[in-house]
Amino acid sequence: MDADPNALPRSVVLALWLGSVGAAPGVVVRSVQDDDEPHTVTGLPLAGPGHATADDATLDDATLKDLAAAWSDGPREVCALLPAPGDPAGVPATANLAATEAGECVVVTTAAGSWAAVPRVTAFGTALEPGHLVHWEVQAVPAWTTLVAGALGSLADAERELRTSLVVATDALDSLDVARWRDDAADAIERVRQATTSRWPVPTLDGRRARVVQLATRLLAIVDLATADDGGAVNLWQSDQRSTALREVERTARHALSAATYSSVPG
């Protein structure tokens, strides 16, 4: 996950746009790519007569605009999943290895079948002028809705768990004196405090979805900041206790962020 609270995983941005009604493919591309080099796609199923199922031919030289055009029209279900080692987070087994290595994927179901799209990101350039090459690998997967619902729960569940996790995390971190941040973390902490959904390249979100995205992303940023410093943990036991608390916060936040991207569009 990106430590910048104003950045969202590419799969989250893509899923939110694919789940919106009437999104133009060009808008989807600009929002997902941002400052990346143009994204490429392989494995995208061919559309049109004669290519109606997930088992048919695929297009191995596609663009992100092709993907957006194929999956932003008609009835569909879509969700971004954010797995981690030991936590598949609802990713179908056939895509689990690739998605876990990437830390993210998008799953989609249309009338033609179900697929997972995994972004492979290659960084280049310098710290002052960073760049990213992004290649989406698409593969057919079994129906995933039930698996994802079992792993993530509802959006209402996600919001409740986030608020509980925030209280638990605050208590745990305060007891370990983790609030004693590094001086050079001041700017990062301020960015966390000011992060809002209005600063992200996503479609307009309803109130609960926006709250969950904002709180989940904020918690992930806090975890990144906390794990970058030993804080007040003065012995191995304290370090283990803090690590356990932070892992649970991070898992809850990842699952909640995924739950906020799930959409079922009747078409």
In this structure, what token pair is assigned to residue 61? 């030289």
* β-strands 40-42, 263-265 pairing: unpaired
For the segment 6-25, the average pLDDT, to the nearest whole number, is 92
> Which one is predicted more confidently, 199 or 141?
141
What is the Rg, in whole angstroms, of the alpha carbon atoms belonging to the chain?
19
- The pTM of this model reads 0.86
* β-strands 44-45, 40-42 pairing: unpaired
Q: Which amino acid is at 29?
A: V
How much of the chain exceeds pLDDT 70, in percent? 76
The CA distance from 114 to 204, in Å, is 26
Residue 193 burial (10 A CB sphere; 0-12, 13-18, 19+): exposed
The CA distance from 242 to 173, in Å, is 7
- What's the confidence (pLDDT) of residue 101? 97
- What's the confidence (pLDDT) of residue 50? 36
Query: Is 5's pLDDT higher than 50?
Result: no
Q: What is the pLDDT of residues 38-70, one digit of tens each?
A: 999 999 987 643 333 444 556 778 999 999 999
In this structure, what token pair is assigned to residue 39? 């994204």
> Which one is predicted more confidently, 251 or 230?
251
> Which one is predicted more confidently, 255 or 125?
255
Alpha-carbon distance values, 146 to 6, 83, 91, 94 (Å): 31, 17, 11, 16
For the segment 224-233, the average pLDDT, to the nearest whole number, is 62
Confidence of residue 235 (pLDDT cuts 50, 70, 90): low
Q: What is the pLDDT of residues 94-148, one digit of tens each?
A: 999 999 999 999 999 999 999 999 999 999 988 889 999 999 999 999 999 999 9
The CA distance from 147 to 142, in Å, is 10
User: Running DSSP on this structure, what letter comes out for residue 176?
Assistant: T
Would you say 246 and 226 are in contact if contact means Cβ atoms under 8 Å apart?
A: yes
Torsion of CA 224, 154, 20, 3, to 10 degrees: 0
Query: Is 1's pLDDT higher than 50?
Result: no
For the segment 219-236, the average pLDDT, to the nearest whole number, is 66
- What's the confidence (pLDDT) of residue 51? 39
